[in-house]
Chains A and B, each alone.
Chain A
Amino acid sequence: MTPQAAMFAETVLRVRDLGKEYRLYSSPRQRLKAVLTGRSTHRSHWALREVSFDLQRGQCIGIVGDNGAGKSSLLKLLAGTLRPTTGSIERIGRVTAILELGAGFHPEFSGRDNLYFGGSMIGISREEMVRLEPEIIEFSGLAEAIDRPVKTYSSGMAVRLAFALVTAVQPDVLIVDEALAVGDQQFQKKCIDRITAFREAGCTILFCSHSPYHVRTLCDQALWLEHGRMREFGDTEAVLGAYETHSRQREAPVEVAEAAAPPPLPYERGPTSALIVSCELSNLREGNPGLLDSRDLVATITVRGKGDERPNIGFMIEQARGVGITSLATHEEGAAPVYLGDRTWRSVLTFPELPLHSGDYVISVFLFDESGLVTYDLWFKFLTFRFLSPKLMPGLVRLPHHWS
């Protein structure tokens, strides 16, 4: 085994039979009684039960599950802010949690002062902080504002400083709870770059997200929690596939396509923001929904990028009231958008002989950064079109096939 392989095989997190019980008292009076007398009349709610897994150095694991499945409890237990009711957690090395940023800053003190104080709370000594300080201030982009009281900061500034602080030291285990939505587009990108760099340096990452896209792109293992128990743990694609099938079945009776609100854009918009400029379908007739008057589906997508960075474009077709059919992205296929000058880029996506059966279809367009990790903009289900297939057989899609 090479030294590097040996390093990667090291277990940095060992979780055995982890359980967390919340005791629900009918009133705080009962709680006091429980402390005073040791007898209590509480109901038990097990947020987590019998969870066991090992994580090796350098692994990235995504945690998925419905609301209330115990994801947050698990992350808090691993981070150490909650105490487990049963079981054990063995952690090796430095564990950093990005759970909620900016908690514990004192508004009357300057950013710099809060930096030193906040550092001591996460185990960064004064001497170490003197060394780290310039880099943290640089990363946060606060410049002179660092010497102003934190009460004068915008929420974005405070969060930027907090992120720069907690990630100033490379951890052995990084716990991220959907905190990728930090600040503006540019800072969000810096955050993801930093997390990716940690990962490449051998840091183990636990990542909890509602975005299957991000879990798929970032994680090589996934853990699916259901009612506080481990439903599946293994390769991302297998676990996510099973989870998505489960979610669809559960939601099937409701008209999901109608009910689903577009996911909110996770950042603040500014005049220099990257955005989708237009998406036009060729040969689309007027109407509601418009009829696609062609055998081919040709989408021309124009976007505005960020600086001179080359953006990536994603495209998704779904049944108007039903399931997703296909998602495509330029970075997945090495198909770079064409530069038109003035930060404008264009991709033309063609589906020759659109292999769909007749029906109404809805499309979404995504704009990503160069790495494909940051979603700069999205037009979610913004256009529905009708397609009449020349073949009148029932079904959804004509798969590649041959008879013999």
Chain B
Amino acid sequence: MRSPLVDDARTLWRLRGLVGVLTRRELVARFAGSAGGVLWAWVQPLLTIASYYLVFDIVFAMRMGENAPTQRVGTYLIVGMMAWTAFADAVQRGMSSLVDAGGILQKNPLPPVLFPTRAVLASALVYAPMLLLLALGYWPLHQGSPAVLAMLPMVLLQITLAWLLGYLLSILMAALRDVAQVVAFMLSVGPFLAPVLFPITLFPEGWRWLLWLNPMTAWVLGYQAVLLKGAWPPAEVGLAMGVWLVVLGLALDVALRRSREQLVDWL
């Protein structure tokens, strides 16, 4: 039997023009009617970065404890928070994309996969450039180490992760709307269960394995290694990324197989 996930990937490639149109439209529609328009999409995260830097590094000049990859709190926080915000935004938008597109899907013969994809891509268009630009802002820390090259694949893999998870959750949400509430809660506590706010060394050694249950732990550690120390991401980070992507890919494939035929009826 053919894998529905592979089918979807083929469909996306075939309809790549439409994916482009839909993605652009999603971004523009979000800010339709505002004077600033689509620029707000980038202004918001930029302001967040600026305020972390101002508050923690300039006004309070807070310092991290021993063994932290950097001493400045704001500098440390920005890396993890940008990665997490990008992930949470993409997953959340991806998750509600199918239910939101219910009306369109019931009246137009379009493959459902278009909608989680456009939601995740629209989010990525905002955050991926931000993450990549951090590499410039953090030049004094990594000093142009070749490890910076790892940023691009990591960002692309993060987008893939968000797409797999967002699409999977969008199917679950189509089945049961309450899924959205549970996921919203998990996304709000997620930053505490990853080395986003505190370095991993601050977590008790016996409980550190718990952090790896958060898919973003791998990516946050990877970005921190590159941006704060100019080091290549450690091997376990790459391994964790691979495991998460494969597990989510298989789960999504199963969910698609079980729901494909009735998905549109549930919207």
Contacts and interface: CB of A to CB of B under 8 A. Distances in A.
Interface of A: 22-23, 28-29, 31-32, 34-36, 38, 79-83, 85, 95, 97, 99-100, 103-104, 106, 108-109, 117, 120-122, 125
A15 B171 CA distance: 29
Nearest to A100: B107
Contacts of A79: 109
A81 B109 contact: yes
Contact of A38 (B21, B108, B258): B258
B235 interface: no
Contacts of A82: 264-265
A104 B106 CA distance: 10
B137 interface: no
B125 interface: no
Contacts of A28: 175-177
B260 A83 contact: yes
Secondary structure of the B contact surface, majority rule: helix
B258 A108 contact: no
Q: With a 10 A CB-CB cut-off, give which of B103, B104, B262 has the most chain A CB atoms.
A: B262
A35 B171 contact: yes
Given A23-B262, A35-B255, A97-B109, A120 B175 contact: no
A209 to B, nearest CB: 19
A81 B105 contact: yes
Nearest to B31: A108
B32 A108 contact: yes
Contacts of A80: 109
A147 to B, nearest CB: 15
Contacts of A122: 108
B103 A35 contact: no
B204 interface: no
A125 B17 contact: yes
B108 A121 contact: yes
B261 interface: yes
A35 B259 contact: yes
- The 5 lowest CB-CB distance pairs between A and B, nearest first, are A80-B109, A108-B32, A32-B176, A31-B175, A103-B107
Given A83-B261, A117-B25, A31 B108 contact: no
Nearest to A20: B261
B208 to A, nearest CB: 29
Interface string B228-263: 000000000000000000000000001100111110
Interface in B162-190: 171-172, 175-177, 179
Q: With a 10 A CB-CB cut-off, give which of A35, A95, A117 has the most chain B CB atoms.
A: A35
Contacts of A34: 175, 258-259
B262 to A, nearest CB: 6
Contacts of A106: 25, 29, 32
B18 interface: yes
Given A32-B175, A34-B259, A103-B103, 17 more contacts: A23-B262, A28-B176, A31-B175, A31-B176, A32-B179, A34-B175, A34-B258, A35-B258, A81-B108, A97-B109, A104-B104, A104-B107, A106-B25, A106-B32, A117-B25, A120-B17, A121-B104
Nearest to A83: B261
Given A22-B265, A120-B18, A81 B106 contact: yes
A85 B261 contact: yes
Contacts of B153: none
A80 B112 CA distance: 12
Given A31-B176, A34-B175, A34-B258, A121 B265 contact: no
